[in-house]
Amino acid sequence: MQQREAPDALAVFRVCVGACVVGSLLSVILSGLVPVIWFGSEDGGYQDLRANSWLVLLMDWTSPAQVQRLVWAGVFGGCFMVVGLGGRFTALWTLLAFQGVSDINPQSGGSYDYLIDNALWLLVLGGGSQTLSLDCRIRRGCWRSSESISAWPRWLVLYQLVLVYFSTGLHKLSDHWTPAGGFSALYYTLQQPSWHRADMSWLAHVYPLTQTMTAGTWIFELTAPVLLLVLYWRGQGDRATGLARRVNRWNLRGVWVAFGVSLHLGILVAMEVGPFSWISLSYYVALFRGEEWAKCLDRVRLPGSRLVP
C-alpha cells in the first residue's frame, strides 16, 4: 500500500497499548498474585505449570526470581512504549516479556492476552514512535513531527479489529444468540457470578432490553467486515463516485464507533473480564486517520510541541 498519512494515529495506538500492558501486569503485581499464578506449585503456585514460550524456557522459567524479572521487564517495556522510547525494539522487548509471562499459565488470562500480543506485534512491524514520543524529542527537539508514514500499519490494526469481531460473531453458535433462543444470551451470561461484578438479577425486570442488546451485539459483530469498505470509501473523499458517494453521506463510522464504545463500556462496568475492554478500545484508535488525530492533538499544548516536518 503506497498511501501515506500523518503518524499520529499509530502513535496514539502505541500509547494505549503500552498503558494496557502496564495496567494488566501491575494489577497482578499489586494484588500479590504473581507467585500464585506464575510460580510452580513447588514455589507457592497453585499448580504444576508448563511454559510454552521459548524465552521463558531459555531463562529457566522455574526460577521465581527470573519470573519476577520477566514481569517487571514487561512493565518497564510498557512504560517506555507510553513515552515513546526505543521504537520497534521496545515493542519487541515488551512483546517477548508479556507473551512469556502470559504463556506460563494460560488459565490465568484470556483472549485479551492475544489481543495485546497482536497489538504489540503490529507495533514491531509498523513502529509508532515517529511522533508524540521521546524518540521524536531526541531526534528533532520537539514532541511531534509531521513526517508522513505508510498507512498499511493502521490498516493492519483495522483488519485485526474487524477479524476479532467477525470471528467472534461466527463462533456464537448457541441458539441463545439467535431468535431460536429468544436472544437470551446476554441475560444468562450476566447471571453467572464468574462473570458479573455485582448481582444482576434485576435484569429480569428489563428482559426485553437484554434481548435487544444481544441481537444488536451479534449483528454488530457479523457485519464488521463492511466497516473496512466504509472506511475505504470514506478515505476517497471527493474522489468517491456512485455507491461510495451515497454511503459517504451517512456517518456510518460514527454510528459504528458509538455502538462499539457503548458495548465495551457496558462490559467494563458490568463484567469482570480483565483488560479486554481497554485493549479492544485501543484498536478503535485506528478508525481515525493520522490527520484526524493530528487535528485533535493540535489543541494540546506541550512544551516543545511545535510540529516539525
Tell me the average pLDDT of the chain: 90
| pLDDT of 305 higher than 70 | no
Looking at residue 155, what is its pLDDT?
Answer: 96
Please tell me which residue, 308 or 174, carries the higher pLDDT value. Answer: 174
Angle, in degrees to the nearest 10, between helices 152-171 and 8-30? 50
Closest to 276 (Cα-Cα) out of 166, 114, 38, 78: 114
Looking at residue 281, what is its pLDDT?
Answer: 97
| pLDDT of 120 higher than 90 | yes
| pLDDT of 227 higher than 70 | yes
Averaged pLDDT, 85-104: 94
| pLDDT of 210 higher than 60 | yes
Q: pLDDT band at 308, cuts 50/70/90?
A: low
pTM of the model: 0.92
3-state secondary structure the chain: CCCEECCHHHHHHHHHHHHHHHHHHHHHHHCCCHHHHHCCHHHCCCCCCCCCCHHHHHCCCCCHHHHHHHHHHHHHHHHHHHHCCCHHHHHHHHHHHHHHHHHHCHHHCCHHHHHHHHHHHHHHHHCCCCCCCHHHHHHHCCCEECCCEECHHHHHHHHHHHHHHHHHHHHCCCHHHCHHHCCCHHHHHCCCCCCECCCCHHHHHHHHHHHHHHHHHHHHHHCCHHHHHHHHHHHHHHHCCHHHHHHHCCCHHHHHHHHHHHHHHHHHHHECCCCHHHHHHHHHHHHCCHHHHHHHHHCCCCCCCCEEC
Looking at residue 236, what is its pLDDT?
Answer: 80
* C-alpha span between 37 and 168 (Å, rounded): 27
The percentage of the chain sitting over the pLDDT mark of 90, rounded to a whole number, equals 67
**77-86, 189-198, 221-230, 296-305: least confidently modelled range:** 296-305
* C-alpha span between 34 and 51 (Å, rounded): 15
Q: pLDDT band at 301, cuts 50/70/90?
A: low
Looking at residue 83, what is its pLDDT?
Answer: 97
At 25-74, the pLDDT tens digits run 999 999 999 999 988 888 888 877 766 777 777 776 668 888 899 999 99
Q: Under the phi-then-psi rule, with left for phi > 0, alpha for psi from -120 to 50, and beta for the rest, what region is 242?
A: left
| CB 132 within 8 Å of CB 291 | no
At 237-285, the pLDDT tens digits run 777 788 888 888 899 999 999 999 999 999 999 999 989 999 999 999 9
| pLDDT of 215 higher than 80 | yes
Looking at residue 242, what is its pLDDT?
Answer: 82
Strands 149-150 and 307-308: unpaired
Averaged pLDDT, 118-140: 94
| pLDDT of 169 higher than 80 | yes
